[in-house]
Amino acid sequence: MKIGTVLLALTLAAALTGCQALTSAFCAPHCRSESHASSSLVDFLYPNGGAPPGENTLPELKLPVRVGLAFLPSRTGAGTVGLEAAHREEFLERIRQRFIDRKFVSQIVIVPDYYLSDARRGFEGLKGVQRLYNIDIIALVSYDQVTYRDDNAWSMGYLTIVGAYVLKGTRHDVTSLIDLAVVDPVSRSILLRAGGTDARHGTTSLVEESRESRQSREASFGKATDALIENFDVALTRFESDVREGKANVHVSNRSGHAGGGGSLDILWLVLLASVLAGSRVRRDPGEY
């Protein structure tokens, strides 16, 4: 009886070992994998290993400013495509709508990323885009997203047709970073910068892995963009305050040529107020004087 039990145990152990070996052979080399999609602000602004200049010219902002907004193209060989064109346009439009009502902004133009191809890399390339779209500064969106895929113990069931549809033996983890930098091509300066991040994970069956992983990547980009917008709003408000107080490292003037330091963001509104008061004075009854 004991001998039979021992033989049965040995048989089961050998069977399980065989199943594990078969499972490893089945999923290799994809039992554990990683995909990476990104675009790099540093690589774009300073191609060929160039370094930032030691001293930049003081940026000059002519109010109200015309702003270009664009996604940086993915780096060659970065791996999976991070965002489809439709989603990139959607996220850029969300950013545009959030900041278009700022009183010192006259226009925000979305620039297609093919205008930022290899031939237009660096600040010189941005100057060409600046002239083409008649804009003053350019807001560049870059991103970095890593997706990890790992088959767990349930993946043994993938050896059966039913298991591939039913068992959630694949885990995916997604980490996303979205960055927005406002650049002045003329002075080669980065005026303002903010970012947003998101991390999430999920488990799925083998058949649904591709679809659910793609949905997780898109959702992660969306949440990271939400965080970016909020953080950039805070940074922009602080920048406005610094300009009014004369603390910002910029020179501000309006388009009529009047320069100013602290408080210059309100020049246009003072001119408008003066016009209204002048009109009111003309309409008053002469007998009131």
Where do the structural domains in the chain lie, given as residue ranges? 34-47+57-146+179-200+207-268
The token pair at 156 is: 């043994």
Q: Minimal CA–CA distance to 40: which of 139, 141, 184?
A: 141
pLDDT category of residue 181 using cuts at 50, 70 and 90: very high
More confident residue, 32 or 7: 32
Amino acid at 176: S
pLDDT digits (tens, 9 = 90+) for 196-248: 999 998 887 777 777 888 888 889 999 999 999 999 999 999 988 888 888 88
Pair 38, 75: CB distance under 8 Å: yes
Return the bridge partners of 34, or none: 148
Phi and psi at residue 123, in whole multiples of 5°? Answer: -65, -35
pLDDT digits (tens, 9 = 90+) for 195-208: 999 999 888 777 77
pLDDT digits (tens, 9 = 90+) for 152-166: 766 667 677 767 766
Q: Minimal CA–CA distance to 227: which of 93, 111, 91, 36?
A: 91
Phi and psi at residue 205, in whole multiples of 5°? Answer: -80, 165
